[in-house]
């Protein structure tokens, strides 16, 4: 497992596929979580995240939240096509 999502600011319910860049970083989205509740309810509006590979094969992946949806004009609760 690369990362276990915990809900809250971390995001919750990852969905769809992941996109890999030339450095091996992975990008994806969660349907809920993110810490902004507004129009999305108590679970949050979702996130866009990056998973960064470890420098060695035995290290741990790091997760970075790139964006937390707020609902309204920026959207929220993304779903794959």
| Per-residue pLDDT reduced to its tens digit, 47-80 | 999 999 998 888 899 999 999 988 888 888 887 7
Q: Which residues contact 72 (CB under 8 A, 6 or more apart)?
A: 38, 39
Q: How far apart are CA 32 and CA 24, in angstroms?
A: 25
For residue 37, pLDDT over 70 is answered with no
What is the radius of gyration, based on Cα positions, of the chain?
Answer: 13
Note the pLDDT of residue 63: 93
pLDDT tens readout for residues 2-26: 888 888 888 888 988 899 999 999 9
- Average pLDDT taken over every residue of the chain: 87
**β strands within the chain, DSSP E:** 12-20, 26-32, 47-52, 62-68
What are the CA-CA distances from residue 50 to residues 25, 42, 55, 72 (Å)?
Answer: 7, 24, 15, 23
What percent of the chain stands above pLDDT 70? 95
């Amino acid at each position: 497992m690369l990362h276990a999502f915990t809900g809250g600011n971390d995001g919750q319910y990852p969905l769809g596929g992941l996109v890999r860049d030339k450095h091996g970083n992975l990008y994806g989205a969660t349907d809920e979580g993110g810490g902004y509740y507004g129009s999305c309810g108590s679970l949050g509006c979702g996130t866009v995240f990056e998973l960064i590979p470890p420098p060695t094969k035995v290290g741990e992946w790091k997760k970075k939240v790139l964006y937390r949806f707020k609902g309204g004009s920026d959207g929220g609760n993304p779903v794959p096509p």
